Chain A
Amino acid sequence: MISSNIYFNFFLMPSIIFIIGGIITSFLKGNLRTNFSLLVPIASIFSIVKFTSDNVFNGRILSFNILGFNIEPFVYDNITLIFAFLFHLFAIFALIYSSYVKNSIEIGAGLFYIGASLGVIFAGDFLSFYIFWELLTFGAVIFIYLGEHKESKKASFRYLIFHIIGGLVLLCGILLLYSESPSLSIRKLSLNSLSTYLIFLGIGVNAGFPLLHTWITDAYHKASIVGAVFLSSLTTKVAMYALIRCFLGVEALIYIGIVMVIVPVFFAVLENDLRKVLSYSLINQLGFIVVGIGIGSDLSLSGAISQVFVHVLYKSLLFMVTGALLYKYGTCKASKLGGLYKKVPLLTIFAVIGSLSIAAFPMFSGFVAKPMILSSALENNLTLVWVFLLIGSAAVVKYFKVPYCAFFKDNFADNKNNKDNEDDVCNLEDGSKKLPICMYVSMGLLSLLCVAIGLFPNRMLYDILPFESVYNPYTSFHILTQLEILFFATLSLYICKKYNIYHKERDKITIDVDYFYRKLFKKTNATIDKGLESLNSISYKKLLSIGSSIGRGFNNISSKFNERKAPIGITLFLVILFIMFLFLI
């Protein structure tokens, strides 16, 4: 039986606070909306503090039965609380950044999206996990739909289809798992049955596994300015949490992670849209986390969680910077931007801090997180894995693409020798649109946090990790080797540029696996359509001839009926007969 206290607690859950707050925010306007939206994460933090300080029964706060299923929508441990803290922190920065947005639905969708993310991470059973997992998709789709890209609406539809299929695979896995062992509680699974493979695949869609990643690179750069910030920080991180919960230490994740680390870099080099470059970079960074989860040791898990933490901060910072460029100049294409460091010096500083963080430069946040995963690979005698991760870490070519292409590259000089590109360079003087202060505040705070975590990793990060960390990133050897890898990679890049080996940014697009469903399916569909149409026309002609002969036969009969005026007479006779029968009865 569900007591009223449980109802009360249900509506006090952080996820529900965010979801209801999001719906209310959609109807508010102006300052009231901004203030109310900022109150939502604060109220949610209070709710978490209240729940966790209450009488804790093994972290299981809410539990009730519906249709015989034991539902536990609020279960937590240390890892859950780190993710919850991170999402709240992100919520505050993202809401400050987006307070300039006029469309309240966008902000409402953001809160709803964060609420769904919190719902997934606090879920203790697969049923509530699945419900919030699906709600995530709807929050994200709104952001993509509201994008200003000419393909935004189509991309949002593709995103929806992709995630609904992924969700159905997950649901099939959950149902099969329930049929195998009648328990819905979220637990560690091993890849040994169809049900666990399906759950793995379902989570893999949101985690951006190779071949299942195209929704990230198809949709993120087509989302609205604010939308890309939200999208980059939630869905994939929630999937990382799900992997930690269900598939920690599964070996397959190591190999999947390595592919995710290496392959996206090629695409990032070639891609022209800077938000798409960041999307590929995001998959590369997720790869490190997936490897960390796959290794499954205390150090690798600490590394993976730290990496999630810092990644949300620097990736959202970089998406904010590219969003600001899109807002000010109407584009964030590498071929159209360049030399902006004089015009927007603050944005340049933020972009450089974000890039130094992602590159794991000493004193920036990435430096204190990513190397933990590399060390754990060596600790577990996975030398080859370590080599691949090292190659992935050397991707300076992608780390600094945003600041280089947007702020430092001399675009006009670059294009002198490249006549194809002349039309591409937009007149950056036109970018007179002033950036809202809220954008600067949010990016400034995030930049400060990236530096602070890099400088004080113990206080800012390691102390909140679930395991007592003995990792010290600031050894002279580690600093030297990290600088060596980054500077030599830069030297190599400089030589490639000097001898014109490096690919020049042009206004082109890269095709990915999405080619198969966006173009090839279309072609196949068109061919099938053509085939069916010809079959249709043949059968139409045949049927027409058969039909006409049948019709002729009917015509003959009806003409005979017509001649004798039978139908009316017979019908009248039948009616009279029927009435007579009625009287007889």
Chain B
Amino acid sequence: MKKFLTYLLYIICLVLLVLEFFIDKSSVHFNIEKHFALFGVVGFLATFFYVLSANLLGKLILKDKDFYDKQ
């Protein structure tokens, strides 16, 4: 099941990229939105950014649950 879902995720991502070739972008108002795979790249990198930054931040702000009770 896990393998199936993983492959499904890969396939969906691939299909979404392919679909971008077939979509009519002439009615899109803003040029920045027309870049190929822009949204995919932002989604992918943003999540990496969140996870890595959170890991670094975690070293500083993650404390034991009785942190505020300790004197």
Contact = CB atoms under 8 A, between A and B. Distances in A.
A160 interface: no
Contacts of B38: 481
Contacts of A77: none
A464 interface: no
B54 A492 contact: no
A503 B55 contact: yes
Interface in A148-200: 151
B51 A477 contact: no
The prevalent SS among residues of B at the interface is: helix
Nearest to B70: A519
A290 to B, nearest CB: 20
B44 A507 contact: no
A503 B51 contact: yes
A267 B55 CA distance: 10
Contacts of B23: 476-477, 480
B64 A492 contact: no
Interface string A488-511: 111111101000011100111111
B41 to A, nearest CB: 7
A277 interface: no
Contact of A484 (B43, B52, B68, B71): B43
Contacts of B40: 484-485, 487-488
Nearest to B34: A477
B42 A508 contact: no
Given A487-B16, A508-B63, A512-B61, A266 B43 contact: no
B27 A475 contact: yes
A355 to B, nearest CB: 15
Contacts of A383: 32
Contact of B43 (A480, A488, A509, A512): A488
Contact of B13 (A475, A491, A509): A491
Contacts of A538: none
Given A270-B62, A383-B32, A386-B32, A484 B37 contact: yes
A378 interface: yes
B4 interface: no
Contact of A509 (B16, B17, B65): B65
Nearest to B49: A391
A212 interface: no
Contact of B12 (A475, A487, A526): A487
A395 interface: yes
Interface string B11-42: 01100110110011101111011000111111
A92 interface: no
A486 interface: yes
B62 A508 contact: yes
B20 A487 contact: no
Nearest to B45: A492
B50 A266 contact: yes
A508 B64 contact: yes
A36 B36 CA distance: 58
A518 B68 contact: yes
B50 A265 contact: yes
Given A507-B65, A509-B65, A512-B61, A485 B55 contact: no
Nearest to A476: B23
A394 interface: yes
A220 B9 CA distance: 35
A476 B20 CA distance: 10
A256 interface: no
Given A397-B51, A492-B47, A391 B9 contact: no
Contacts of A394: 42-43, 46-47
A298 to B, nearest CB: 16
A501 B39 contact: no
A92 to B, nearest CB: 36
Nearest to B26: A477
Interface of B: 6, 9-10, 12-13, 16-17, 19-20, 23-25, 27-30, 32-33, 37-55, 57-58, 61-65, 67-68, 71
The 7 A-B residue pairs with the shortest CB-CB distance, nearest first, are: A492-B47, A269-B54, A488-B43, A489-B43, A485-B43, A394-B46, A488-B40
Interface of A: 151, 265-267, 269-270, 375, 378-379, 383, 386-387, 390-391, 394-398, 475-477, 480-494, 496, 501-503, 506-512, 518-519, 526
14 contacts: A266-B53, A267-B61, A269-B54, A375-B29, A391-B42, A391-B49, A482-B39, A489-B43, A491-B10, A492-B46, A496-B51, A501-B51, A510-B63, A511-B61
